[in-house]
Structure 1
């Protein structure tokens, strides 16, 4: 895996080059010589984050059963409606 470094100016002037470099590995984009952003392919990003996750999978993650959820009761009062 190759890590490419580009300045913000280089990135803005040649986005295509950055995209091609991202196919080979992460592209570190610098601002004033300091790393500021990383460009990845979507495949590399999904590997890094564990891929797409459905709401059902997120809610059934281990360890969530210990979280207590006790919402405050809501009191809704009725009142007469004037339909005249």
Structure 2
């Protein structure tokens, strides 16, 4: 378990993320615990659920690369009813 001041967190978020991979990171504000940084896996385990694709995409900081392939040729075909 790691504790960082708000200033330390702001100055070195990379360190905070590395420490969160090992366990919760408590972030203090004026000497008192104010926030906890967790990996998404730890959070989901604690929340007792899984993150849906819609929930993941709805996050304000979501950054997903998605390049769907272009469709060429006809997009439909006659139905085989026999």
TM-score (norm 2): 0.61
Which ranges of structure 2 fall in alignment gaps of 5 or more residues? 53-82
Alignment partner, residue 52 of structure 1: 50
SS of equivalent to 2:4: strand
Distance of 1:15 and 1:24 partners within structure 2: 15
Alignment partner, residue 32 of structure 1: 30
Distance of 2:17 and 2:7 partners within structure 1: 15
Instruction: Determine whether 1:14 maps to 2:8.
Output: no
Which ranges of structure 1 fall in alignment gaps of 5 or more residues? 55-84
Q: Which has more radius of gyration?
A: 1
Aligned positions, number = 52
